[in-house]
Amino acid sequence: MKRDSRDGPIPPTATYRLQLQPGFPFSAAERAVPPLAALGVSHLHLSPVLEAVPGSSHGYDVTDHTAVRAELGGEEGLRALARTAHAHGLGLVLDIVPNHMAVPAPEHLNGPLWEVLRDGPASPYARWFDIDWAEHGGKVLLPVLAGRLGEELGAFAVRDGTLRYHDHVLPLRPGTERLPLPELLDAQWYRPAWWRLARTELNRRRFFTVSELIAVRVEDPEVFATTHAEVLRLLREGVLDGLRVDHPDGLADPAGYLARLHEATGGRWTVVEKILARDEPLPRAWPVAGTTGYDALHHIDGLFTDPAGAAGLTAAYRAFASPPADRGGDWPETVRRAARRMVSHELAAETERLVRVAGRICDASWRLRDHAPWALRTALCEILVRLPVYRPYARPGEPAAPADVALLDEAARGARAAFAVPEEAAAVEVVRDAALGRLGGGPEHRDFCARFAQTAAAVRAKSVEDTAFYRYAPLLSATEVGGAPDRPAVSPDEFHAFCARIQRDWPATGTVLSTHDTKRSADVRARIAVLTEYPREWELLLERLSARVPAPEPHVAWTAWQTAFGLGEPDALRLVPAVLKGAREAALRTTWTERNAEYEREVERFVLAGPCGPAHGELTAFAAGARASVRANVLGATLLHLTMPGVPDLYMGTERVRRMLVDPDNRRPPVFDADEDGPVGLSAEKLHVTRTALRLRRAHPEWFTGPGADYRPLAAAGPAADHCVAFARSGEVVTAVTRLARGPAEGGGWGETVLALPGGGRWRELLTGRVCPERVLLGWLLRKYPVALLVRA
């Protein structure tokens, strides 16, 4: 890969994400290369390609780091894709998964784990995994049984030197093969257990709350070398050109890992899936190009959200659903309650592990003794639920960053209120200082510091993204990864300030609008955001619809009708699973592990009768009245994404209008139509905008990501100036989009509102081909489309 003089390797001009799976293997991706090259991207962005659980639709459940996945076509299939891509001028960026592997069935698919289960802590692979051998009598808990062990003994069998339980095939400790079954089970290095014990008894680190994924210790140099050898070889041999790192916050030492990866790859373009809070910066010391772009998603979405209308929707939601403050009525309280549930329920095993380590740290120090386990547990939980970001990055033996110190000091101040006796509240300072690496540099201190940060990331992700987002529902477009649902709107000044920061600090960072992990695709969110321009009308519509088709309870009515409006069609096969998933994630009336079958049947009946029934016609009529705003939001978000600072990543199929709900709906393979003129209406317009902007980026990368590229806001002047956002890139490109389009549409249009373009000649608008002067009336410029892309004529 070529290098520029300022930022190392020359970044892609744009990437295109392909979600590979058995139904969309390398050969299908290869057939998509010509139309994607014609679209204007520079690189294909591939989901993980190493061996995974058979049939996996995502590839994040890696089973073997040494081989390319056979179900996708194997290494030869990947190389054939690379050859075709390179022949069309495209490179390949690969998503890698350093944090975890699968615990598959049969277990021998994961070779390193198989050896650990067979040989225990003496196995050379024991260093791969975070296993607490002090628990469960030195055995790895395997929560795979449908019931308690005594109830399931009859389902076990010993065959071919292995222990069988339904789909599970487990190794036997050498010398135990002929023992009677109960004694044989007791003699193993693992303990098969009821699956419900995972929540409280698991003694290995996992990915969030997914017990089928076991975390990997890539901080160990040998583990790093073995798990990355195949990917690094493919980079050296020119098959791959860049990397996306999945969930670095799950690692013990993200900075150390990224430094090792940077050195091993020779500084290839690499972005990390770091979820930033609204005002949280990416650590400057990380040797990466930037994030995968959820911060950009939030700022783009927020620009098309009316702040007054969002407040109106919030008031309407509270009146309609009457949620308690901590169950959807108030965002901070809702997050706090969800976090408490995580530390005491779903992540109880991780919490207790930290309490045990904290206790051993205290017991080993005369100064710290006599802190009761309950006090350490209370302090730990109260601090964890108060962290407003994913995690701190402290390391024992090094001064903690001021941001991490401030973060934990603030959390500690609030945590002390949980104690009635001030002297017992001193446990808070112990936990805080241990998390900041201040108490020492021994093994226990390093373990607590790393595990605290890893657990904090899991608590944040599960309590916010996978719980509170489904409980706090005034505006579903704002409940997105990296979002701030209580502050969904972003002003033009805030947007420009964000873009200027990105251009200055992370000019080659990734930007996204839709991913395999977004709760709703960009086009669904663009439709839902329109409701902030029509809050009163939506409130009245919901009252009519609810009277016509009663729901099991008002919260599910609000979320189902908003989801249906975003989807835009009464597709029961997609809408019913999405609403049910939302109800389970919210965990208010039903959950994934504690199903309320009758409630779920009521939800399904309601969705079929209401949002998927005749009443859907009222949503269609409502959308027709807001068509101008929907069109402006879809095309405006598209053009901003493709021309703002950073490297845009397009999710498969989103060059056209693609309305997708939460996974697995959003992982359906796209259909690549060989006829580029196939789409009509808004979908055709979106394709035109996308193709035009991408081809411009590819023809002139120096205007967007080159060392001399810059970003300058442009201000419109006149009666509708607040409804235009515009900026110039390197003095050669101007983007102008319409925001909150109801205002101009119902207020007499743009009137005398003008946009002054950078001086130095006339400009050509690429979407229409028209030439315009330096000072142009927006009513003329935006006559055909609500967006404009201009270059010097």
Q: What is the pLDDT of residues 595-606, one digit of tens each?
A: 999 999 999 999
pLDDT tens digits, one per residue of 700-752: 999 999 889 999 999 999 999 999 999 999 999 999 999 999 999 998 899 99
Q: What would the mean pLDDT of 206-218 be, rounded to a whole number?
A: 97
- pLDDT above 90: residue 761: no
Per the CB < 8 A criterion, the answer to whether 17 and 45 are in contact is yes
Model confidence at 269, pLDDT cuts 50, 70, 90, reads very high
Q: pLDDT tens digits, residue range 33-43?
A: 999 999 999 99
Whole-prediction pTM: 0.96
Q: Among the residues of 43-165, which ranges form H helices?
A: 74-87, 111-119, 149-152
- Residue 771 C-alpha from the chain's centroid: 41
> Quick check: 669 and 19 in contact, CB under 8 A?
yes
Q: What is the pLDDT confidence band of residue 81, given thresholds at 50, 70 and 90?
A: very high
Summarize the confidence of residues 520-528 as an average pLDDT.
98
Per-residue pLDDT, 677: 56
Kindly give the residue spans of alpha helices, DSSP state H, lying in 267-372: 294-303, 307-321, 331-341, 348-363
Write the pLDDT tens digit of every residue in 312-346. 999 999 999 999 999 999 999 999 999 999 999 99
Find the mean pLDDT for residues 626-642.
98
- What is the side-by-side order of every strand in the sheet holding 210-215? 100-102, 210-215, 206-207
Place of tokens 């065959």: 159
The encoded tokens of residue 9 equal 């390797």
The fraction of the chain above a pLDDT of 90, given in percent, is 95
State the virtual CA torsion across 511, 512, 516, 522 in degrees, nearest 10. Answer: 170
- Provide the pairing of β-strand 3-4 with 8-9: antiparallel
pLDDT at 21: 96
DSSP state, 106? S
Q: Indicate the DSSP class of residue 108.
A: G
Question: DSSP alpha helices (H): ranges in 187-239?
Answer: 198-201, 221-236
- What is residue 4's predicted lDDT score, i.e. its pLDDT? 42
Query: Dihedral sign, CA of 367, 370, 372, 373?
Result: positive
**Token pair recorded at residue 361:** 């740290």
Q: Which residues on neighbouring strands pair with residue 765, listed in sequence order?
A: 790
Q: What contacts 689, CB < 8 A, 6 or more positions away? A: 635, 638, 639, 642, 767, 785, 787, 789
Q: Quick one: which H or E segment has residue 381?
A: helix 373-384
Q: What pLDDT, on a 0 to 100 scale, did the predictor assign at position 706?
A: 84
Nearest to 81 by CA among 316, 206, 241: 241
Looking at the predicted structure, is the pLDDT value of residue 548 above 50? yes
What pLDDT does residue 673 have?
59
Write out pLDDT tens, residues 447-465. Answer: 999 999 999 999 999 999 9
Which H or E run contains 608? helix 597-609
Mean pLDDT of the 284-300 span? 97
Residues with Cβ within 8 Å of residue 351, at least 6 apart in sequence: 343, 344, 377, 380, 381, 384, 455
- Within 10 angstroms of residue 764's Cβ, the number of other Cβ atoms is 14
pLDDT of 205 higher than 80: yes
Specify burial of residue 80 (Cβ count, 10 A radius: 0-12, 13-18, 19+). Answer: middle
Q: Is the pLDDT of residue 9 over 80?
A: no
User: In this predicted model, what pLDDT tens digit does every residue of 762-781 receive, in sequence order?
Assistant: 999 999 999 999 999 999 99
**Average pLDDT of every residue of the chain:** 96
Interval 586-600 mean pLDDT = 96
